[in-house]
Amino acid sequence: MKRIFFSAFLCICSLAASSQSIECKKISTEKASDVPEGETAVRFVSKQGNWLIKPLEKNNVQDRVVGEDNSHTTFSYEYRADVTRDNERTFTISKKGSPITQQVVAKNLRRGMRVTYSITEIADTLNRIELQSNGAIGLYPVENKACVEITTTLNSLDVSTGWEKSEEMTDAGARRITVIVDVEQLKNSKKQLQTLSMKMSELEQKGDYLAIEPIQKQYDDAEAWYESHSIIQLGGTGIKTLPLELEDLSQKEKRRYAVVALQESFEELITKARQMKKERCQHLDYGFYDAAVILYDKAIEHRDAPTSQLESLRDERIEMAEARKLIWLLGKAQEKADDAEKKNGFECEEVYKLLTARNGVIDKIRANHPDIQGLEELEAQITARLEKHPMYMNKKTVEVTYKRQQIFGKAVAGSGFYQPIANLAIYKVNTSGKVKSDTPKTIIGRVNGDGSFKVILPDNTQYIYFEGEKNSRYISPEMTDLGTIVLGKKQ
């Protein structure tokens, strides 16, 4: 069961299995002449009756004072208590006839003060979202700040924060919302709250209640700022609010999150996953592959996933996960190389080894996932840096270049071939003749928009297969220019 902390902003919490939820809102903190000296009051008001509110710590908490206005439309539940050392009291809220029970913490309690909250039971018909975290994935190169990146395909998702944010569309058609957090300012704000709280406690001990009021105002303003900046609220029309806490962010940290709807159907999940798999040739970004793997995981675990498709889905998932690992290694090697250069300078041995290792990862990506584009340009950039390193200049090893077979040509649609030519997949297969749906296939490239294609063949490739055709095509070791291939034409 979750523990909910009441504050100056709206908090929503419910049990997943329930059809209702409790909406809680802090209304006010004010001086109360009717509250005995040395005590504090916590009041809950509601348009609905039958609430059961119990203090978790019964010591020094008096019985509730239940009130009702003359119109019988507002119910009040009030508790009087001695102020604790941390100025907090925990209550359990439930309702007669409802399975909902949750603990809440009333904070910032002061002697002679009354804190008021409103509580409402609402029908919970909202769609739920899930936050998938990739954790710390790199550095954000701005002093004292951090970056939080949220990617989603939900157009109705609203990202609410007190920080600066920006939004763009990814190549895969998803929304990418970037939030820049001033970590130092956030931590200083928390320290300010602690300082103001201690100052009010000291004044309470002296009995100087008049001096507390202006400090209380400072505290409320500081608390409102902190609450709006220490949490990113994810929600929107028809979407249940989900908080993303920022308290543990570190300076120069960069995090990525993916937000998906729990109600997505199997068809929606697998369509998005396969679309990302189709578009992976354009991506060298870890977040893209991680989001795709998450979609595959949800599709495989979905209650409506057909048993007959699970094996092929797992194979596709493994292929994307392997690519994700290599892309992660690619970025990690660069990150460590940058750190080594900052600590020991560019000419240190560690920089040379890490850059060389990065080119080694590129070789593995090229060998295992030859359809991914942009590797040549990236390799050229890394090699250009390596050539400036003294260890590269002094090396005495003999390099042997192994040249893989490359084929190229142009594909056109024949009579009866109705699939779009642009971005058509080209596979390596080990079978001659008819290619069935369960025939093992490895994607090795795609057809360009103008029908042209160029593919570097993996070792021991004898047959290739164009998506949409019935049969594979034989490739001899001597073939390079395949000329014009008429897709769908009987071979």
Q: Which of 39-43, 60-64, 322-326, 424-428 has the lowest mean pLDDT?
A: 60-64
Q: What would the two tokens of residue 267 be? A: 């068809």
Helix (H) / strand (E) containing 383 = helix 375-386
Q: Give the mean pLDDT of 442-446.
A: 88
The whole-angstrom separation of Cα 175 and Cα 179 is 13
User: Of 128, 119, 127, 99, which Cα lies nearest the Cα of 22?
Assistant: 119
Q: Which residue has the higher pLDDT, 324 or 120?
A: 324
What are 249-294's pLDDT values in tens digits?
Answer: 888 888 888 888 766 788 888 999 999 998 888 888 888 898 888 8
Q: What would the two tokens of residue 266 be? A: 């199997």
The pLDDT assigned to 85 comes to 61
User: Of 185, 148, 184, which Cα lies nearest the Cα of 167?
Assistant: 148
Q: How far apart, in Å, are the Cα atoms of 465 and each of 106, 433, 469, 473?
A: 66, 10, 7, 6
Q: What is the DSSP string of 95-149?
A: ETT---EEEEEE-S--TTEEEEEEEEEEE--PBPEEEEEEEEEEE--STTEEEEE
426 confidence band (pLDDT: 50, 70, 90): very high
The pLDDT assigned to 398 comes to 43
The whole-angstrom separation of Cα 281 and Cα 466 is 16
Residue 12 pLDDT greater than 60, yes or no: no
The whole-angstrom separation of Cα 491 and Cα 479 is 17
Tokens 């002094």 sit on residue: 394
Residue 81 pLDDT greater than 50, yes or no: yes
Q: Which of 106-115, 218-227, 369-378 has the lowest mean pLDDT?
A: 106-115
- 67 φψ region: left (φ > 0), alpha (ψ -120 to 50), beta (else): beta
The pLDDT assigned to 442 comes to 86
Residue 141 pLDDT greater than 70, yes or no: yes
Q: Are 62 and 140 in contact (CB under 8 A)?
A: no
The pLDDT assigned to 128 comes to 67
The whole-angstrom separation of Cα 131 and Cα 153 is 13
The pLDDT assigned to 397 comes to 47
Residue 45 pLDDT greater than 60, yes or no: yes
Q: Which residue has the higher pLDDT, 133 or 486?
A: 486
What are 160-208's pLDDT values in tens digits?
Answer: 999 999 999 988 788 999 999 999 999 999 999 889 888 887 887 777 7
Q: What percent of the chain clears pLDDT 90, i.e. is strictly above it?
A: 19
Q: Are 45 and 116 in contact (CB under 8 A)?
A: yes
Q: What percent of the chain clears pLDDT 70, i.e. is strictly above it?
A: 84
Burial of 173 (0-12, 13-18, 19+ CB in 10 A): exposed
The pLDDT assigned to 483 comes to 92
Q: Which residue has the higher pLDDT, 136 or 41?
A: 41
**Vertex 63, ends 59 and 64: CA angle to 5°?**
125
- The answer to pTM > 0.75 is no
Residue 11 pLDDT greater than 80, yes or no: no
